[in-house]
Amino acid sequence: MAMTKSQVQAALAGKLGVSKKQVGLFFEELAKLAYKEAKNAFVLPGLGKLVLVQRAARIGRNPATGEQIQIPAKKVVKFRVAKAAKDAILKK
């Protein structure tokens, strides 16, 4: 089961010797900075990078009717996982 926000805050607060409130404020400011800088790519060292990608227009299919539809081009946000994170998680 995934850790909750308060569990993550408690774990980091205990490890770093700061309050859970300070850890919460850090996460809020980190998120604000990531949202602001995502258009230029925002790197979280050791974890990965947020990037803004232009997705091309394409033909899709309505699953209910099978009818082809045109899906317009759009910008999407992607998270690219760092090699160090993949290696640590997958134990290569």
Residue 60 has what pLDDT?
95
Predicted local distance difference test score (pLDDT) of residue 91: 87
Secondary structure (H, E, C), 2-42:
CCCHHHHHHHHHHHHCCCHHHHHHHHHHHHHHHHHHHHHCE
Which tokens belong to 59? Answer: 């033909």
Q: 0.95 exceeded by the pTM?
A: no
* Cβ contacts of 56 within 8 Å, gap of 6 or more: 73
Confidence of residue 92 (pLDDT cuts 50, 70, 90): low
Of 45, 32, 14, 81, the C-alpha closest to 6 is 14
Residue 68: what residue type? Q
